[in-house]
Structure 1
């Protein structure tokens, strides 16, 4: 959960005004504040780029500024590298005090002008878009093999040509300080002629480490240990039927399609193609036991980065925990709380549904009062309850 003052939670649970500020950035500097008529940010933990934003902007604002970027590559809303930096928060009951928290930076990907309605619709995505778009320019290393450290590979991948080259900027800043560094113990092949997508390389590193990657509020690609189950203490309680109610509706969904109960991991020799390491993880008890009526629902994974049986088993256990995380999911409609983040632990309570604790894996956050409530997707391994 983003850091907020002690006044925040009581304000969320009482009558308050929604506040959002959108800055247009060009060449890293604030160009101007963007007036918005409507907007929302969508967070999705299952996506490569986890954040997307849609804004509706007046075609001509009160100061007479034209927000149509057509024909002007330097316009604040043009899709030529311009970014949006977004803050959201609340105005406190005195109608003067306010508090905002960052929702991150977004690369503008497109605009749509409606002259009849007098609006401009802006689409933008988090800065993972830069990693997706920037394919590997060339390969001076023929790939990365044993002897390279995970953090060294990440540092090289942050540059367009895999070389720490002052002629190129980093795609984005990276931060792997939360991870314990170690040697690859395997090979990552990269196409010699260049042009390879670098995101699958990052994903292979994450599977073998294991790590979880995402762009944070500062625009940095951050690597952290995977979050595989809710914390003991929730960061927020969303309730109904009380004076400080913040819950509007909730719905429970169970999906067999997303849950699996066995993972089998192979470490492959990149030269011979033979298996050199093997490990597995299975749910042996409870409703999803492989020996029970649920049956075998397996997943397989192989990687040249996996060198030992112990590493293969650890990878299998991490992947199994992620598969079991979605055995029970709730769709929660509640009062907007911009301080909540993906993988926060929240507790939802209502008279009919009782109490449910899980991880937030999706958020739809409105940026104006007219946008209505916030939508959360909360999930957990129900077979452990």
Structure 2
């Protein structure tokens, strides 16, 4: 959850007055503040390579300034490296507390009459666009961490969680074209995942669904914030075994296996989902020991569960502190204080309803 005071956290449990503001930065310099946002929305989906997308509607003329980007490459809303820092304001006792929703790269902007439309994406777009112009070959001293830094910096500064144990990269590794795919392969072999923080750096941490709930949501008519629920189930993308394969320095084939053994999992191995193993196989030359294969298999199983486990759609009063990955305590839709994690969400930038897709843990 993004940083909010206890007062603001209490306010957003019911009706409140909100406001939006944005700054534009280019090459590390502030070039405009208090950009007038008339409307817009933010969507995030952590199953996507670039999870964040923003759409903004801005009046063409406001505050004595012309917000039409026109043909000026240094205009605050042009798409030539401009980044927007967006804040969501909550009225607490007659003044606004501003919650930083993060930094976003302007990818498209244009004017239609008296309205300017702006589209932004998350900062991982910088990595996704930057294809390798020559093969990337780690040196003999490189580790998983230094490879990620080499692929990502200086576009994004990388920070590593202390729960990760770094290790050397096998000789002979090479990535030819897709920079972001190379980062993803390293993360998968490490049992890690990466996300861009509200401060604009890339945080790499172990794959995990555990943690105390940050917020309770309920459809209780007296105290709840949930307007309605939607549910769905599917066998698509469902596996009960993950097999991670690699090889050691002498060429011997290795593998580690992770079984879905959770007693309450509808896909659990040996349960009614299937009397036989339904495997997902993952292979990487970065896996050189059985232990590494097992760690990668376990992490991959958690990632697959995000796509296939029971999901609920939630429509609720907007909460500007929530982001995908946050753990919630959910009462409603047949659940009682069940732990759930946010997988995707939309947040309106004007008064309206917020939607979440949550997965039951």
- TM-score w.r.t. length of structure 1: 0.85
Residue 375 of structure 1: aligned partner: 355
In structure 2, what is the equivalent of residue 82 of structure 1? 82
- Tell me, in whole angstroms, the C-alpha distance in 2 between the residues paired with 1:151 and 1:182: 8
Looking at structure 1, the residues matched to 116 and 282 of structure 2 have their Cα atoms a distance apart, in angstroms, of: 45
| Match among 151, 154, 168 for residue 157 of structure 1 | 151
Report the alpha carbon displacement of residue 108 of structure 1 after superposing the two structures with TM.
Answer: 0.5
Change (3 A) 1:307 1:352: closer
Using the alignment, how far apart are the partners of 2:21 and 2:186 within structure 1? 36
Residues 114-133 of structure 1, C-alpha deviations (whole Å, 9 max, x = no match): 11xx2111000111111111
Q: Structure 2 unaligned segments of length 5 or more: list them.
A: none
For the Cα contact (< 8 Å) 1:261–1:289, is it kept in 2? yes
Which deviates more, 244-253 or 197-206?
244-253
Aligned-residue offset at 1:375? 0.8
List runs of 5+ in structure 1 lacking aligned partners.
Answer: 160-169
Q: Are 1:70 and 2:70 matched, yes or no?
A: yes
Q: Which residue of 2 aligns with 1:120?
A: 116
Q: Deviations over 1:13-48 (max 9, x none)?
A: 233101221112222222222111101111111011
Q: Secondary structure at the match of 1:19?
A: strand
Partner Cα separation in structure 1 for residue 227 and residue 278 of structure 2: 36
CA distance in 2, matches of 1:375, 1:303: 37
Q: Secondary structure at the match of 1:7?
A: helix
- Pair 1:188-2:173 in alignment: yes
Hey, what does 1:244 align to over in structure 2?
223
CA distance in 1, matches of 2:333, 2:128: 45
1:299 maps onto 2:280 in alignment? yes
**Pairing of 1:73-152 with structure 2 (within 5 A):** 73-92=73-92, 94=93, 96-115=94-113, 118-139=114-135, 143-144=137-138, 147-152=141-146
Q: In the alignment, what sits opposite 1:357?
A: 339
Q: Which of 40-49 and 294-303 deviates more?
A: 294-303
Relative to structure 1, the CA distance from residue 350 to residue 284 in structure 2 (aligned partners, 3 Å threshold; closer, same or farther) is closer
CA contact (8 A) 1:187 1:305 kept: no
Task: Tell me whether 338-347 or 145-154 shows the greater mean CA deviation.
Answer: 145-154
Asked if structure 1 preserves the Cα contact closer than 8 Å seen for 2:2 and 2:101, the reply is: no
Residue aligning to 2:20: 20
* Counterparts in 2 of 1:283 and 1:239: CA distance versus 1, 3 Å: closer
Give the C-alpha shift of residue 255 in structure 1: 2.1
Does structure 2 conserve the Cα–Cα contact (< 8 Å) formed by 1:241 and 1:351?
no
The match for 1:338 among 313, 317, 320 is 320
Matching residue of 1:46: 47
Root mean square deviation of aligned Cα:
2.2
Q: How many residues align?
A: 354
8 Å contact from structure 2 (residues 42, 52) kept in 1: yes
Whether the aligned pair in 1 keeps the contact of 2:170 and 2:286 (CA below 8 Å) is yes
TM superposition shift of 1:9: 2.4
- Aligned equivalents of 2:329, 2:20: Cα separation in 1: 26
Query: Take 1:363 and 1:351, find their aligned partners in 2: how far apart are those partners?
Result: 18
User: Contact conserved, 2:219 with 2:225, CA < 8 A, in 1?
Assistant: yes
Counterpart CA distance in 1 for 2:252 and 2:20 is: 53
